[in-house]
Amino acid sequence: MTTADTTPSLESHTFEADVAKLLHLMVHSVYSDKDVFLRELVSNAADACEKLRYEAISHPALLDDDPKARITLLIDPDNRRLTVEDNGIGLSRDEMIEALGTIARSGTKAFMERIQAAQGGEGAQLIGQFGVGFYSAFMVADRVEVVSRRAGSEEATIWSSDGKGSYTVAPIALDEAPARGTRVILHLMEEARSYTERYRLERIVKEQSGHVPVPIAIVEKPGAEPQEVADGAALWVKPRSEIKPEEYTDFYRSVAGQFDEPALTVHFRAEGRHEYTALAFVPGSTPFDLFDPERHGRMKLYVKRVFITDEADILPRYLRFVRGLVDSADLPLNVSREMIQESPLLAAIKKGVTSRILSELEKLAQNEPQAYTKVWETFGPVLKEGLYEDFERRQALLGLARFKTTASGDGWRSLKDYVSAFKENQTAIYYVTGMDLARLKASPQLEGFRARGIEVLLLPDPVDSFWVTAGVDYEGKPFKSVTQGAADLAPIPLTETQENAGAPTPEAVTQFIQSVKATLGEAVADVRASERLTESAVCLVASETGMDRQLERLLARAGQLTSAAKPILEINPRHELVVALGNLGEDQQALREDAAHLLLDEARILDGELPADTKAFSQRLARVMRRCVP
């Protein structure tokens, strides 16, 4: 009788990415501080312990006779080996393949492009930003093994890789695996031998992971007793007076996965009808996912220090750059995702935390304007999304908003500053939208406003074209586009001396403008003399009731607009070219018609567009130029 072969089969897989190149770039180009690998592994272990705590609420048997979470660092200097072990939730075979076999889930191509662009210290800021923290272990190890047993399972699995393009997965005997949780074994490179020195590991843990909510111990050599180096005390439950700034910074880095300094720390405890603690950070630099189309927030929800989820919408989407957590004493421990979405308590928490963060930003703007300016330069385009979406807090957000203007130079202006500089008879806040600040500053539509000393907001962000159309006002003053409708500038006196200002338009020029309208026909909605032009001959504007031209362009690019409205061509009746064209005789009708089309094309070019018919434009321009050649 033949005995069946019970030897476990070893499965070999290739990574779902060009890992040979990817890991080579990580090791040699990205990370300037190799110590971060330990923080990443400890962070993963802490997450696993928190997940177990949550699952054990409904399945207490998962804890068995080992209810206290822990993370242990085991040192084996003789074999040049470092092990990071936890007694958390663990991984099944399939979970191991999914979690460890796919690198850079947020976009391998984008990740690799960013790695190649990173130089020097900038590379360290990529840590934690692309779901590759685990793979930082290959900076110090030439082989990594992961042994894991999921809580409640009777199976254990070992994953192994040298980081050069493939990995293996195989079953492993239960007596060779942790009773529950995960063991990450790093076979260290010779040059990384110092990571088996206790003092170095203890220093790294205290600097980078001292505030994870799980105790951390070090076993100095095989067979030695564990010695605790971090007590797992949650930072957010401590009084603010007992927390040092560097402790906040360390915790921010662990929760945000970034290496910068927080620009603002908000830590408070709400008491009364609802009790909860919030610890939130405004990053000092731009998170990689700031413009993620899904616009998910990154605030974690805890209940009595038990991690519940990082998918609760605690903050509105325009505050998605904020990192941190909320720990509630009132939500039930067995809260489900459905209950979270419908919870009136969570709605109250969301309102309270949002209001507090906006209030702290306002205080920062008042007390430390330079620090706030940096925050606005980093996150202003995102905060402005709230002007469109959050009617309730719109006035608060308008107070926080800062703008480049025609009067600000290289600085920023608040709306309070703007309104305080209103000119005589000015009743509106004027703005111009576009995609390029330099082009906006050169817009011909600004000339009449500049001549009267009227400040105009320069709005180069795509979101600007949307929030200004949402019926916004500031202290009762409406927003008005300088490229839409009639300028209505006559009631505001000129501050610059303008030649022929206020003089009636010569009859010949009036007739020329009428002839331009007749020549252009259906190409434009109207042709009229301009109040807003003082230097340029022409410009394009939208009608009073139509859509702003920049918004039209954005919607057209997004495929949400099938046809654009016809623009209005405004002609400066005082411009010397227009006067000269008006004085042409009847025998120059062909030239007048070519000039009409060229003026429209000139206006299009000034507006950042191409002529509607480039061939016809070229032919007309050639005919006019030939007339100038003797």
- CATH number of the structural domain spanning residue 94: 3.30.565.10
Count of alpha carbons within 13 Å of 477, Cβ hemisphere only? 17
Residue identified by tokens 């070019």 is 605
Domain boundary among 376, 394, 414: 376
Taking the mean position of all CA atoms in its chain, how far away is CA 16? 27
Does 578 lie in the same domain as 512? Answer: yes
* Burial group, residue 5, by CB count within 10 angstroms (0-12, 13-18, 19+): exposed
Q: What's the pLDDT at 129?
A: 39
Binding-site positions for ATP = 40, 44, 86, 106-107, 129-134, 182, 337
Residue identified by tokens 């070519």 is 594
Neighbours of 409 (CB within 10 A): 9
Does 269 lie in the same domain as 223? Answer: no
Does 298 lie in the same domain as 217? Answer: no
Please state the domain count of the chain. Answer: 3
Q: What's the pLDDT at 23?
A: 64
Does 277 lie in the same domain as 170? Answer: no
Rounded CA-CA distance 147/164 in Å is: 20
Rounded CA-CA distance 155/177 in Å is: 9
| 221 found inside a domain | yes
Rounded CA-CA distance 575/592 in Å is: 16
| 412 found inside a domain | no
Does 219 lie in the same domain as 258? Answer: no
Domain boundary among 353, 376, 399: 376
Binding-site positions = 40, 44, 86, 106-107, 129-134, 182, 337
Alpha helices in 118-244, H assignment, sequence order: 198-208
Does 33 lie in the same domain as 172? Answer: yes
| CA 21, 24, 26, 31 torsion-angle sign | negative
| 467 found inside a domain | no
Does 271 lie in the same domain as 200? Answer: no
Neighbours of 282 (CB within 10 A): 22
Does 165 lie in the same domain as 133? Answer: yes
| Inter-axis angle of helices 589-606 and 614-628, nearest 10 | 130
Q: What's the pLDDT at 33?
A: 72
Q: Cα dist. 398→69, 292, 432, 543, 545 in Å?
A: 46, 24, 17, 27, 25
Does 136 lie in the same domain as 30? Answer: yes
State which residues form the domain around 332.
236-376
Domain boundary among 231, 248, 279: 231
| 547 found inside a domain | yes
Rounded CA-CA distance 151/469 in Å is: 54
Rounded CA-CA distance 28/299 in Å is: 32
CA dihedral 286, 288, 290, 291 (to 10 degrees): 130
Contact by Cβ (8 Å): 417, 476: no
Rounded CA-CA distance 225/244 in Å is: 31
| 223 found inside a domain | yes
Neighbours of 366 (CB within 10 A): 9
Task: Give the strand pairing for 166-172 and 477-481.
Answer: unpaired
- Entry pTM: 0.70
Q: What is the mean pLDDT of each run of 10 residues along the chain (630 residues)?
A: 54 63 60 77 88 89 92 96 96 88 49 48 37 78 96 95 87 95 97 94 83 90 91 87 92 85 96 90 89 80 77 90 90 65 84 97 97 96 95 96 93 96 94 91 93 94 91 93 87 72 76 94 94 93 85 81 86 94 88 94 92 94 87
Alpha helices in 26-159, H assignment, sequence order: 36-58, 93-100, 108-117
| 487 found inside a domain | no
Q: What's the pLDDT at 206?
A: 81
Q: What is the CATH number of the domain that holds 594?
A: 1.20.120.790
Q: What is the CATH number of the domain that holds 277?
A: 3.30.230.80
Does 124 lie in the same domain as 219? Answer: yes
Does 138 lie in the same domain as 30? Answer: yes
| 72 found inside a domain | yes
* CA end-to-end distance (rounded Å), the chain: 112
Rounded CA-CA distance 320/322 in Å is: 5
* Burial group, residue 547, by CB count within 10 angstroms (0-12, 13-18, 19+): middle
| 610 found inside a domain | yes
Does 369 lie in the same domain as 269? Answer: yes
Rounded CA-CA distance 72/7 in Å is: 31
